[in-house]
Chain A
Amino acid sequence: MRSQHSGRASLRLLLLLFLVGTLPAGTAGAEAPFAALTVTPFGSQVYDITTGVTTLPEGGTITDQDTGVSLDAKRIEYRAQDYVEAWSVSLAGSFGKVAAEALRIDLAAGLLTASGGLHLERDALAVDALNLRFDANTQIAVFGGGVTSTEPAFTADRVLLDVTNGDVLLEGEYVFDGGLFTMRSPEGGGMLALKLVVQDGVAGYDAATEVTPEMLARFSAEL
């Protein structure tokens, strides 16, 4: 049995922090995930009383009232304290912009996965990937399925992003296109660490094939 349900859904979509590089990790960790989000449907809202699943067939907006981050989707489905699924998703916030065909948030595990037409665009980084996996607990995002970046220009088997500081790690076979030159990974793959630096207001990256122990520790769960 389904019932119409309007108004706000107070879910804290802390998963968005994976894209909010400016948020301190401690702040994110101090809050309970998915606790205070506002859900605004574009049209109808269907609540299945038997399953507890709420569906927004015409889509809607999920807004984090603390950070201002908002998620727009053409279709949203969620169950409180369990999961959120959305289709034709776009995110906007201080972290930049993210688009994906499909998105799922495991509210209990604090895990977000997205796939299909995945695109991240933020300061000094513009990435396209087949899929994304973000762990809200570790604040590490993993782009996979063949990653292409236009800024800086590279392709890689996998790209790991530390959303807390913007550090990027290319893994596997990669090709870094510097315009005049092309940097290719060793045969069979390797790693190229891109550490975000801002100099005179311009964001860029220091690149290194030798990954620092600190960065390795941050990404170790995904390597």
Chain B
Amino acid sequence: MKLRHLATALLFGCLSVASAQCSRGPKTAEVTLPGFLAVYYQQFRSNALEDTAEFYGGVCVTAVGGEWTVLADHVLVGNLSTDIYLRAPEPTLYMAGWRMSGALLVADAQHLSLEEAKIVGPDASGKAALLEVDVASGEITLENLLLAGAAFQVSGTLATLQGEELTVEGADVTTCIGMESAPIALESDVATVALGSREVRLGGGVLRVGALRIALKEGLTLSDQTLSELEFPVKVATVEPSPPTTVPTPGAGLSVRVVGIPLADDVTLELGATGLDVPGQLLPVALLRVAPSDQASNTEATDPEGLGREPTRANATFGLEAGAPFLDANVTAPVNPWLTASFGARSGAAPARRARHEGRVGLTASAAVPDLGGSVVGEVFAAATALTANAATAQPDVAGPRLGVSVTAKAATPSLSAGGLPLGTLSLESRAQVTAYPVVWGSTAAGPATQWGVRLAPSWRLRTGPVTAALGYDARFTNSASPFGSSVDGLTPLQRATGSLVVEGPMGGGFSGRLELSAAYDPFATPVAVAGVKVLRADGRLELDAQPWTVTVKAALETAGLVNALPNVRAFADLDVSARRFGWPVVATHVPHGSFEFGVGGVYDLLGGELERLSARMAVPVAFENLELRPFVAVDFARALQGGSAYLSGYGLDLTFITCCGSFTLGALNDYGKWGVSVSVDLERRPGGGGGEAAPTSLAPVEGGGAAGEGNEAEPGIMPGTP
């Protein structure tokens, strides 16, 4: 009998696998190697002539203490008297929360290998053509590894696992899970997967989109969290011209941009088009953005004494904006810890805005005033500025030098109280500035000018429990003399007192609510605003969380227009009731992710004495395997009540494509004639409802009763597949 060797082989073969426990039971016999391992089996036979021993009918090999466990139907130990080895077809290994199964496990005193290994962990699953364990070092090597989590998948030609860190060579990281060839992936020579935190760190590489390959910056880190929170790099916007005009303006209308395309370290590309909905105004966008993400390395050079001096910072954007050249570059350099110099150059127009061509230098001095809980910032600048109607126009509307100086001071008290009664905080923000325009040219120029402005804004704020109260006054004095208008440094006067009281929080019984009372009063008239009550409003919201439904009632009452008849000061009552439910019962083939929603709302004009709006709306999600639709429709009946007819006041559609790379949602909504477009992605949503086959790893299956031997605290058991 050479069971001594057999036990040794099992020890060698399984030293690095599995965390689970099995036990001796009514049908399960036991072999123990005291202090090391135990083998639980249904049947056993040895063959001295063939120098082999076999455990079969369900075998469990587990370390005393349960650090690892191997389950197999059959375990053969060969060469008992010489070079001992172990073979176990279709074994399952449990180790540190991972379950590994394979076609064949072969082990000797030095190595363990598992062919066609399948790996399942708490948050990821995968496979490898070959899994090898170096018994001495405990290092696990995996060939042709593919590991998928909820949000992304990692594959590689060779991977090594030490502890919880997996190093993958020839790595391919993609959100496209389960596809033969991922259309989009990050390729890197080496990727490090932190299994505990489920992070992937890439040491550079390329972004592969189809046949396109774009270089990646060094040190890119991906995780389930970052991918789930990933902001889709497509921006959709509708831009109105400013100042308003009926003349076609470059950049106006619907625009779509793909942003943040990495080209090199700290360099990204923005591509898109503007004027998609304006005939004849379709213009390209191609901007390079250079914005060093970490300039800390400069700190040592600029602040060798460690005085807290900020490093030199620079950023630039250049290229085509709405079909016209665009440049915006800025450099900020510290002169000393309290003084910073800035240099800037800009030429071009933001979408649907006038073009601005400018060179600017400035000095900013700042100092904290701890005794007053605030700071003082002073700035002087000199600039040469020209504004044109748009980027393509050479003739400036206005141009000339600007010379400015400003001082901004902020102060705040700490939280005040009297006898334990909180009294809130007081703060004051003040600013004084003077800008000189010694020479002014252009079609709208009116000669040299000087603009001055002073602002004083005291405020008080108290927050205690669910109550927040605030009072403030904003006094702005200025001669509004900037020839460049509001788009550059124009100031407008204001005299306004504001106050608000907010109570919000849970109310019990599934209810939560918020009530806000707010007011704004201009006690003095200014050249641009008359005196009077501008806001006198109450807003309330009551929400009932009665799963799966959420019912929301919102009401608003604005009465400023009733107190004084002033232009642009309204008086109305607004009431809206809506109900929303996720997981709406299946209408099509799948349970949708989008919410079912319906509601009614009305707005009554208190000044006109008429029902302004009375609408009913509904959104119904319909989901299929790869597609989800959420049409939205709203009908306004206000006119019908006044002798007219109801009309379609809103409509829209959310369209979600569910692919193996994640889901992509494109939404469009027209609400009383105003369009809105949205784009979003959910990298964790895939056909079938999830990502990789990640599943919590259970303990090795056990059954029966009785105490375990050799310190195993498991419930007694036999192997899977046994009668």
Chain A CB within 8 A of B7 CB: yes
Interface size class of A (residues with CB under 8 A): 20 to 34
Knowing A152-B1, A178-B1, A181-B4, the reply to whether A199 touches B29 (Cβ < 8 A) is: no
CA separation between A207 and B55, bound complex, in Å? 11
Which residues of B are found within 8 Å of A208, using beta-carbon distances?
Answer: 43-46
- The dominant DSSP class at the B interface is mixed
Q: Which of B19-27, B223-231, B285-293, B296-304 contacts A (4 or more CB under 8 A)?
A: B19-27
Contact among A181, A190, A197, A204 for B29, CB-based, below 8 A: A190
8 Å CB interface, B435-483 against A: none
CA separation between A197 and B49, bound complex, in Å? 9
Chain B CB within 8 A of A186 CB: yes
CA separation between A52 and B172, bound complex, in Å? 98
Contact among A184, A192, A199 for B24, CB-based, below 8 A: A184
Which residues of A are found within 8 Å of B45, using beta-carbon distances?
Answer: 206-210
Which residues of A are found within 8 Å of B48, using beta-carbon distances?
Answer: 197, 199, 204-206
CA separation between A184 and B708, bound complex, in Å? 12
User: Are B46 and A184 closer than 8 Å at their CB atoms?
Assistant: no
User: Are B49 and A182 closer than 8 Å at their CB atoms?
Assistant: no
Chain B CB within 8 A of A49 CB: no
Chain B CB within 8 A of A1 CB: no
B33 and chain A: residue at smallest CB distance: A181
Chain A CB within 8 A of B47 CB: yes
Chain A CB within 8 A of B179 CB: no
Of A181, A188, A204, A210, the most chain B CB neighbours within 10 A belong to A181
Chain A CB within 8 A of B163 CB: no
Which residues of B are found within 8 Å of A199, using beta-carbon distances?
Answer: 48-49
B45 and chain A: residue at smallest CB distance: A208
Knowing A180-B33, A186-B24, the reply to whether A207 touches B46 (Cβ < 8 A) is: yes
8 Å CB interface, A105-123 against B: none
From residue B368, how far is it (CB to closest CB) to chain A in Å?
74
Chain B CB within 8 A of A183 CB: yes
From residue B50, how far is it (CB to closest CB) to chain A in Å?
10
Which residues of B are found within 8 Å of A206, using beta-carbon distances?
Answer: 45-48
8 Å CB interface, B1-32 against A: 1, 3-4, 6-8, 24-32
CA separation between A207 and B47, bound complex, in Å? 8
User: Are A179 and B32 closer than 8 Å at their CB atoms?
Assistant: no
Which residues of B are found within 8 Å of A204, using beta-carbon distances?
Answer: 1, 48
User: Are B24 and A209 closer than 8 Å at their CB atoms?
Assistant: no
From residue A167, how far is it (CB to closest CB) to chain B in Å?
14
From residue B56, how far is it (CB to closest CB) to chain A in Å?
9
User: Are B43 and A209 closer than 8 Å at their CB atoms?
Assistant: yes
8 Å CB interface, B109-152 against A: none
User: Are B49 and A186 closer than 8 Å at their CB atoms?
Assistant: no
Which residues of B are found within 8 Å of A178, using beta-carbon distances?
Answer: 1, 3-4, 7, 31
B27 and chain A: residue at smallest CB distance: A186
Which residues of A are found within 8 Å of B46, using beta-carbon distances?
Answer: 206-208
Chain A CB within 8 A of B676 CB: no
Chain B CB within 8 A of A187 CB: yes
Which residues of B are found within 8 Å of A138, using beta-carbon distances?
Answer: none
Chain B CB within 8 A of A185 CB: yes
Which residues of A are found within 8 Å of B7, using beta-carbon distances?
Answer: 178, 180-181
CA separation between A78 and B11, bound complex, in Å? 58
Chain A CB within 8 A of B272 CB: no
CA separation between A187 and B6, bound complex, in Å? 23
CA separation between A184 and B24, bound complex, in Å? 8
Which residues of A are found within 8 Å of B6, using beta-carbon distances?
Answer: 181
Beyond the given pairs A178-B31, A179-B4, A187-B24, 11 more chain A to chain B contacts, judged by CB atoms under 8 angstroms and listed by A's residue number, are A180-B7, A181-B33, A181-B34, A182-B30, A182-B34, A183-B30, A186-B26, A208-B43, A209-B41, A209-B42, A209-B43
- Subset of 9 A-B contacts with CB under 8 Å: A179-B4, A180-B3, A181-B6, A186-B27, A187-B26, A197-B48, A197-B49, A206-B48, A209-B44
A-B pairs with the 6 shortest C-beta distances? A208-B45, A178-B3, A180-B4, A181-B7, A184-B30, A183-B31
